[in-house]
Amino acid sequence: MKPDYAPLAQGELAERFPSIRGATERLADGLSAEDCALQSMPDASPVKWHFAHTTWFFETFVLERCDAAHRPFHPAFRLLFNSYYNGVGEQYPRPQRGMLSRPPFEEVMRYRAQVDERMRALLAGRTLPVEALDLVELGLHHEQQHQELILTDVKHLLSLNPLAPACRAGAPSRAAHAPLTWSAHPGGEAQIGHDGSGFAFDNELPRHRVLLAPFELASRPATNDEYLAFIEDGGYRRPELWLSEGWATQQAQRWEAPLYWRRREGGWMEFTLHGLQPLDPHAAVVHLSHFEADAFARWSGARLPTEFEMEAAGGAFADVWQWTSSSYGPYPGYRPAPGAVGEYNGKFMSNQYVLRGGSSATPPGHLRASYRNFFPSAARWQFSGVRLARDC
């Protein structure tokens, strides 16, 4: 389903392009070349691969189509840095991206610089067709999604190091205590999906109506001290709180706390982008799977909200993505775009759950009520938490 809005003007895209590309590169400040080459698990990717893949997107989908003098930077990059676009060709296996010691990081940066130069020339030259401008804007939003993935993937990588290194200087600010209150919503008919004002991914469309029963939504995500009470009440040892697959998963994985919590003499610590820090009791609990969020909600005498309740309530932006009870699927009338670009979202609409809201790692331009994030139920390495809902 093609978004029903005019893309940014070519001049606006020319200004935005270097800003977003530069923001990606600044995420590697303080990281070594070794940090940028390693892959901590099959679901994560090396920083070097993220840098190359986001560049591959512009080379493959924009320059190949719009630059008559196009020559690939390196013919092998088409396979090495293709993520999942079968319509473009084969891909190097995702679980083995950390094996790519070549090309070295320096060559990937030369690749970025060359593609950036060609893109700047293209945007500063002749007037491009609307279809090309659509692809440039999509590529910039795609790059911002990878900015968030870089932070989540680097955090997971560094968490496995016994030195508990930080990738950001200083200590995180401590959260203020905010009492939990409940906001009542009358339900009724609600308009769901992007309203057409500005950019949207295709999975936010088409806009459609849903009918909601009256509900209440918590004023904020659950905090560390609230989740600690769940742990201390035996939450990870009580099968009646868990979905069957969730219980089997946490038993097999031996979960006993959120992903980055560390039990130390004197209390809990949490691994953060600033390294290992004392657990902040008032900060939002983060790095929960859907299974853990659902079990906590049951223990709390509440439930997870649906994605439509979250959107009707205004998106409920916070420092963590918030799991919903909604399976990730297409909206009524959804049609993916033709060609390889149509593989961007639609092919993943199976066996995943929707998260809403946004996190401290989400680029500000992606914080909108209709934005749909999605991951499998067992995923924990994203900045995912829980906001409670209940029926009126």
- pLDDT (average), residues 129-153: 97
340 has pLDDT over 70:
yes
1 has pLDDT over 50:
no
CA atoms of 358 and 342, how far apart (whole Å): 24
What are 173-217's pLDDT values in tens digits? 899 999 999 999 999 999 999 999 899 999 999 999 999 999 999
243 has pLDDT over 90:
yes
For the chain, which residues make up each domain, given as ranges? 10-159, 182-391
63 to each of 67, 92, 132, 330, 387, how far by Cα in Å?
Answer: 5, 22, 9, 30, 43
> What is the value of pTM for the model shown?
0.95
Give the DSSP letter string of 103-135. S-HHHHHHHHHHHHHHHHHHHHSSPPPHHHHHH
Q: Which residues contact 152 (CB under 8 A, 6 or more apart)?
A: 44, 361, 381, 382, 383
Residue 5: which pLDDT band, with cuts at 50, 70 and 90? low
Average pLDDT score, the chain: 95
Report which secondary-structure segment, H or E, holds 354: strand 353-356
Residue 267 structure tokens: 């209390």
CATH number among 3.90.1580.10, 3.90.1150.10, 3.50.50.60, 3.40.50.280, domain 182-391: 3.90.1580.10
pLDDT of the residue at 108: 98
pLDDT of the residue at 6: 66
Contact (Cβ atoms closer than 8 angstroms) between residue 366 and residue 243: no
3 has pLDDT over 90:
no
CA atoms of 379 and 292, how far apart (whole Å): 10
Closest CA to 139 of 58, 66, 60: 58
Q: How far apart are the first and last CA of the chain?
A: 35
